[in-house]
Each structure stands twice: as C-alpha cells, then as structure tokens.
A = this chain, B = another copy of it.
Amino acid sequence: MSFDRLQEKIIAKKNPTVAGLDARIEYVPEHIRKACFAEYGVGLKGACEAIYQFNVGLMDALCDIVPAVKPQAAYYENLGWQGMEMLERTIAYAKSKGLFVIADIKRGDIGSTATAYAEGWLSGADIEGQTFKSFDADCVTLNGYMGSDSILPFLNAAKGEDKCAFVLVKTSNPGSGELQDIKTADGQTIYQVMGQLNEQIAAGTEGKYGFTMAGAVTGATYPEQIQNLRTLLPRTFFLVPGYGAQGGTAEDVKYAFNEKGHGAIVNSSRGIMCAWKKTGNNGLDFGEAARNAAIAMRDDIARFVTIQ
C-alpha cells in the first residue's frame, strides 16, 4: 500500500514535510526569468521554461531534505498545454531524484470520467491494448462532494500501481467552514461525515503502518479539528496544508500525527519556494535559501513530533 512508501521516505529523512511546487512566474528569480524570456520570448513557452528551471533547482537543493514534493496543477494549467507538458517533466524529474510526488489536482468526477482522470494521473491510458502513462504521479488529491463513486475509481487505478490519494476533509482556507462546518441533524459536522465516509470507502486497504489508501486533507489552520479527526480517523493518513504563510504553526500540526509520529505530512509552498525573497541576494541563492527554509521547517516540527 502506497502510504507505506511515503511513510518510509518520511522515516528515512526524519522529516514529515512536503515542498509545494506552485510557481507563478513572479516567484521565479529574475536571472532565470530574463534568460528564459531572452531565449524563448516573453510568453507561455518562456514562462514554462523559467518555472521548469526553478523547479529543477529547488528539487536539486531539497531532494536529500524532504521526502516529497506537491506540484499544484493550477499553476501549470495557468499556462495551458505547455504548462501541462512542463508539469509532466517536473514530475518525472522529481521521481528521478527519489521524491514522492503528490499531484495536487483536487479532481472529483464520477464513473468513466473519474477513471479517465485516474488513468491520466496515476495508472496510464489504454490505447489499443497498450498502456500509456502521462502525468504518472504517486498520489493525487481529490474532492469527494459527489460521493464514493468519485473516489473509488482512483483507488482502483492506484491499487495496481502502489499509489494513493488524499480526499479533502477540512481545508485550511477562511471559507472552509461555510459548508464543511455545517452541523448535521445527527450532531456531526460535514467534514466529520466526509472523513468517515472516506475511511469507510477505503477500508481493507491498510498497509503495514495501518493507513488506508485514501488519506485526508486537514488544514493546519484548524488545530482543534485536526485533533478531533486524528481520534475519529485512526486509519487515515493526513496531508496538512496551511503551515507558515497561512498561519499554522508546528505546535498546531503536531495533532495530525499519531503516538508513533506517523500518519501525516505537512506542506509548505511559498515558505520554501520564495525563501530567496528574504535573503537580499535577488534570488541568486534560491536553492540554498529553499534548503535552509526546509531544514528550519523540519527542525521546527521536530520540536513537537518524534518519528519512530
């Protein structure tokens, strides 16, 4: 089961964090931008190449510190098909560096449509009996508003590939409560219902660390809710966004882990990617700045979480 692969990488690096690769062109240091626009012109192609070089530099600097990266699909779709081509290259490069890849796509659809997504992102498309892989991530994020038939096709695709998924449960944004915090007639909240539904859907897929193939997204900005969900969902692996820029602290995220320090991974995107903006070197040291930020984050969380 694939959360085993992620948990083992976390244990090996003693670091339960994932670096987001969410670059807008403004986040890329000037020397890279200028060189790429000079070579490819100011446009989609130049922007894609600049972001790709930035991603590669970040991964080179981070690959012995963090176990995983999380490219956010929006920043690649933003640049059209050329962005998607660059995303495929980014994912391939990450895997060549031993990084576990969580594609943050938040897809949610049903039946044959969900299968089409799952093939594109995880298991590969079937063309005349042959399998052709495209994005080929290790893991995806999903939105379960449509119900279990929007999650199961991904688990089926992931199973044969030793891959996995995270389903949105309690998200980190200010508006997350508008739907997710609503009380049901049974006295639960919608995010609790979603989390339990998700754990049930994946029941029986537990790996050696005890987690099913269907993890949950639980925002660092809501530590009480994380604490509640950790108890409610003992077999669910958590992806925790919202540390750093959004306000979540290391003390807040400690509740996402079980008593062995397992079962969660904390994301930081801008805090690592844009660390160069704080060193006063105009981005020439972006790799070193990202590496130092990732080490600081690892050590910050280690104050509260001991991984066995």
Say yes or no: A177 contacts B147, CB within 8 Å: yes
* Size category of the binding interface on chain A: 35 or more
Chain B residues, CB < 8 A from A77? 84, 116-117, 120-121, 134-135
Chain B residues, CB < 8 A from A144? 145, 179
| A167-194 Cβ-contact flags toward B at 8 Å (1 or 0) | 0100101111111101111010010011
Copies in the complex: 2
Say yes or no: A128 contacts B42, CB within 8 Å: yes
A72: nearest chain-B partner, CB-CB: B113
CB of A67 within 8 Å of the partner chain? no
The residue among A108, A187, A194 with the most chain B CB atoms within 10 A of its own CB is A108
| A79-93 Cβ-contact flags toward B at 8 Å (1 or 0) | 111111101100000
- Please measure, in the bound complex, the distance between the C-alpha atom of A110 and the C-alpha atom of B24, giving whole angstroms: 15
Say yes or no: B80 contacts A135, CB within 8 Å: yes
Chain B residues, CB < 8 A from A184? 182-185
Q: Could you tell me which residues of chain A, from 114 to 150, have a CB within 8 Å of some CB in chain B?
A: 114, 116-117, 119-121, 125, 127-128, 130, 132, 134-135, 143-150
Say yes or no: B178 contacts A116, CB within 8 Å: no
Chain B residues, CB < 8 A from A135? 77, 80
Say yes or no: A182 contacts B187, CB within 8 Å: no
- Please measure, in the bound complex, the distance between the C-alpha atom of A117 and the C-alpha atom of B73, giving whole angstroms: 8
Chain B residues, CB < 8 A from A148? 175, 178
CB of A106 within 8 Å of the partner chain? yes
Query: A220 to chain B: closest CB distance in Å?
Result: 14
The residue among A112, A121, A197 with the most chain B CB atoms within 10 A of its own CB is A112
Say yes or no: B134 contacts A150, CB within 8 Å: no
Ordered by A's residue number, 29 sampled pairs between the chains whose C-beta atoms are within 8 Å are A43-B127, A74-B114, A74-B120, A75-B116, A78-B119, A79-B120, A79-B125, A80-B125, A80-B135, A81-B84, A108-B108, A110-B171, A143-B143, A144-B179, A145-B168, A145-B179, A146-B171, A147-B171, A147-B176, A147-B179, A150-B175, A178-B197, A179-B193, A179-B194, A179-B197, A182-B184, A182-B190, A183-B184, A185-B187
